[in-house]
Amino acid sequence: MKRLLVVDDEPQILELLELALSLEGYEVVTAPSGEVALEAAVTRQPDLIVLDVILGGMDGFETAQRLRGLTPVPIVFLTAMGTEQDRARGLALGQAYLIKPFRPAQLLEVIRAQLEAAAS
């Protein structure tokens, strides 16, 4: 079973993603901040990270930069930050960049593709 780390400071989003991804057969670990995500990335060793940009404290871009020093796993940004500049910055740090509101099927498709790419 693949383990996903979902990072978002909105409890409702964490709950929604945890439920949706669990129903698809993933083990889901959640983190409400970048700091907690860094710790979880080391202790829980996820296969993929779903990361919001807008977080209290350390933002998602800084979190991704620090994660790159800890783990090679794919990072999928899921955020309301939708400018081309934000997207370019996100894609420089991660493998995919999705804008909220999002379609769960789209997120699942991206997650599957990234997990397959990481396995090959």
Q: How far apart are CA 80 and CA 28, in angstroms?
A: 21
pLDDT in tens, 47-104: 999 999 999 899 999 999 999 999 899 999 999 999 999 999 999 999 999 999 999 9
CATH of domain 6-119: 3.40.50.2300
Average pLDDT over residues 92-119: 95
Q: How far apart are CA 39 and CA 48, in angstroms?
A: 15
Q: How far apart are CA 6 and CA 66, in angstroms?
A: 16
pLDDT at 18: 97
- Sequence letter at residue 2: K
pLDDT at 120: 86
pLDDT in tens, 5-56: 999 999 999 999 999 999 999 999 999 999 999 999 999 999 999 999 999 8
- The residues spanned by each domain of the chain are 6-119
* pTM for the structure as a whole: 0.96
CA angle 10/19/48 to nearest 5° reads: 80
pLDDT at 72: 93
